[in-house]
Amino acid sequence: MTSTDITRALHDLLFTPDLGLTEAVDRHFTPDYRQRTNGVWSDRAGFIQHMTRLRTLIRSGHVQVHDELRDGARYADRHTVTLVHEDGHTSRTEVCLFAELAPDGRFRRVEETTLLVTGHADDGNLGLVR
């Protein structure tokens, strides 16, 4: 299996509505997946719940990767996610991400810090991946 990356993962999770959420999560994240976003930890179940909510709020978007590094099971990147919300407004969030990949190439653990660059103040509470 080819290792995942943030572009493919977010594309499948948020920007491919015909792809079932369970299939998208299984494709990119291990069963024991954990994530810390801005200091808050969540498990895979919490992550799926959050992605379910985001899919109702987001119309479209794209990911721009500025820096990306891999070293064995370690993955890091700095990317910006641009989202078009269902109400028509756009937000942009910059993310610095460090991750551990499982032997099969899926994310096992992600730790990230986000910064809302443009958008409504409450867009910062969306936390793209949580």
Q: List, in order, residues 6 or more apart from 90 with CB less than 8 Å away.
A: 82, 83, 84, 118, 119
pLDDT of residue 121: 77
- Residue 65 corresponds to which amino acid? V
- Evaluate if residue 126 carries a pLDDT over 50: yes
How far CA 119 is from CA of 34, 91, 122, 124, 125, in Å, comes to 27, 4, 8, 8, 11
User: For residue range 68-117, what is the model confidence (pLDDT) as tens digits?
Assistant: 999 999 999 999 999 999 999 999 999 999 999 999 999 999 999 999 99
Give the integer Cα–Cα distance in Å for 101 and 121. 32
Tell me, yes or no, if the pTM score tops 0.85: yes
What digits encode the pLDDT tens for the residues 32-47? Answer: 999 999 999 999 999 9
Phi, psi of 124 (to 5 degrees): -65, -20
